Structure 1
Amino acid sequence: MSVRHALLALLSEGPKYGLQLRQEFEARTGEVWPLNVGQVYTTVQRLERDGLVESDGTDEPGPQKSFRISEKGRAELTAWLTTPPAEEAPPRDELVIKVLVALRVPGVEVATILQTHRRRLVETMHRYTRLKRDAAEDDLGLLLVADAELFRLEAIVRWLDAAEARLRHLPTPLPEPVPGERRRARAAR
């Protein structure tokens, strides 16, 4: 997540000082992403250096120094909001790596590993479901964060289900992978 752009969004509403930015950031994100006030000031100083925000002109750092978005900052915010994320290689996901490594570890039951992780994910989904149930109807930030997390967790559970289905159809023992084979195949395309 881009704290830099989130702060620009908050400043697009009007001038704010550092502590206020931190409090509003946490409130808007359902208070699930705590933000250190030092990080706020460091980020705002970089934004000011880059011409994306302007300060109230006082040279004194601290809670009374207020910041506002510049025209260049508004353009940057608009570009960020309207530009889809770049399609990149899949991120290094620890669970995926565990499963891939476990496939080759002697004596390890990969199905048991999948089930252990599935159980933990479902427990976490229940916590987010309770959080949504207990949230105030007007706490939109918390509700949207809980929904996003539930969808993300559901996708991981679905991946575990697909991995388990694939494992049922694998030959035993697994064929040995050839180092660099996939890279060479991609390079040939």
Structure 2
Amino acid sequence: MYGQGMSLRFGVLGLLAEEPLHGYEVKTRFEEMLGGTWKVNIGSVYQVLQRLERDGLVEATGDRGDRGRQAYRATVAGISGLTEWLEDPDSQPQLLREDFYVRLLLLGRQPNGHLARLLDRQRRVYLQRMRDLADQEKIARERGRPQVALLFKGGQLHTEAELKFLDAVVDEMGKE
């Protein structure tokens, strides 16, 4: 139902449904919520806030903090829209729109060994990602942040699937 790329929009809305915040607080809390895996440009946060306000999903509180920053809060319509989005399953993952797949298809059309080199380099990237995600999961658990640890565990499982896909590509190449 919702377009892709809505995570930041609804992440901001979700934080504002918890309590009124100004833009920099939204940025900081969003990044903390995701365990530092997604760094957000403050300009993007303010663009999202402007669109949410334009759409009637958030409103300015009229309360400016000690630095003159405008705080925002979710409206009733915003909370309703957030609830609907939270309950809507992700029916169109972007998995097949990654750059790697385009490279794979283009290099597969070339007669030289570029594809094998790409697969080898990609495998090393995925293996390093697995190590990094495992380290991050451990740190999150040690800090008592089980939900963030699950985010890193999910990343590991996705990366494991990518490694299996590379194996399937290599197997298929061996048949040619």
TM bin (shorter chain): 0.7 to 0.9
Q: How many residues align?
A: 169
1:104-143 aligned at under 5 Å gives the runs: 104-108=109-113, 110-135=115-140, 136-143=142-149
Distance apart, 1:160 and its partner CA? 0.4
| Identity rate, percent | 30
Are 1:27 and 1:141, in contact at CA under 8 Å, matched by a contact in 2?
no
How far apart, CA to CA, are the structure 2 residues paired with 1:59 and 1:123?
45
One-letter amino acid of the structure 2 residue matched with residue 133 of structure 1: K
Please report the TM-score for the alignment, with normalisation by the length of structure 1. Answer: 0.78
Shift of 1:106: 2.3
1:155 to 154, 161, 168: 161
Higher helix share: 2
In structure 2, do the counterparts of structure 1 residues 141 and 48 end up closer, same or farther at CA, with 3 Å as the change threshold? same
Question: Which structure's CA Rg is the greater one?
Answer: 1
TM-score normalised by L of structure 2: 0.83
The answer to which structure, 1 or 2, has the higher relative contact order (CA under 8 A, 6+ apart) is 1
Greater CA drift, 102-111 or 113-122: 102-111
Q: Which amino acid aligns with 1:84?
A: P
Q: 1:52 Cα shift?
A: 0.4
The corresponding residue for 1:23 is: 28
Aligned counterpart, 1:77:
82
Contact 2:64–2:71 (CA<8 Å) still a contact in 1? no
Q: How far apart in 1 are the matches of 2:132 and 2:102?
A: 26
2:56 to 47, 51, 54: 51
Counterpart for residue 186 of structure 1: none
**CA–CA distance in 2 between the matches of 1:153 and 1:88?**
15
What whole-Å deviation, never above 9, does each CA across 1:45-77 have from its counterpart, x for those lacking one? 2111111011113699x7531111111001110
